[in-house]
Structure 1
Amino acid sequence: MSRRQQVLSSYRSLLRATRYAFDGDHRVFTAARQQSRQGYETGRHELTSDPKDCDEIDKRLEHASGVALLLRSNIVQGELKPGKTGNENMATVDPGESIAQSDDGGVYKLRIHKYTELGDNEAVKGGKTSLAGTAKKINWNMSE
Structure 2
Amino acid sequence: MATMSRRQQVLSSYRALLRATRNAFDGDHRVFTAARQQVRQGYETGRNELTSDPKDCHEIDKRLEHASGVALLLRSNIVQGELQPGKTSKENTATVDPGDSVAQSEVGGVYKLRIHKHTELGDNEAVKGGKTSLAGTAKKINWNY
After TM superposition, the score normalised by the length of structure 1 is: 0.79
Q: Is the 8 A contact 1:100 1:107 kept in 2?
A: no
| Aligned-pair CA distance for 1:127 | 4.3
Please list the CA deviations of residues 68-110 of structure 1 after superposition, one character each: whole Å capped at 9, or x if unmatched. Answer: 0000010000011122135899999999999999863431111
Count of matched residue positions in the alignment of Structure 1 and Structure 2: 141
CA RMSD in angstroms, aligned pairs only: 7.6
Deviates more, 1:98-107 or 1:14-23: 98-107
Equivalent of residue 9 in structure 1, options 8, 12, 25: 12
1:7/1:51 Cα in 2 relative to 1: closer, same or farther (>3 Å)? Answer: same
Q: Secondary structure at the match of 2:130?
A: coil
CA distance in 2, matches of 1:88, 1:125: 23
1:105/1:121 Cα in 2 relative to 1: closer, same or farther (>3 Å)? Answer: closer
CA distance in 2, matches of 1:12, 1:138: 27
Q: Secondary structure at the match of 2:118?
A: coil
Q: Is the 8 A contact 1:97 1:109 kept in 2?
A: no
Please list the CA deviations of residues 20-61 of structure 1 after superposition, one character each: whole Å capped at 9, or x if unmatched. Answer: 000000000000000000000110011001111001000100
Q: Is the 8 A contact 2:96 2:102 kept in 1?
A: yes
Q: Identity of counterpart residues, as a percentage?
A: 90
Matches within 5 A, 1:47-86: 47-85=50-88
1:32/1:101 Cα in 2 relative to 1: closer, same or farther (>3 Å)? Answer: same
1:24/1:31 Cα in 2 relative to 1: closer, same or farther (>3 Å)? Answer: same
CA distance in 2, matches of 1:13, 1:96: 41
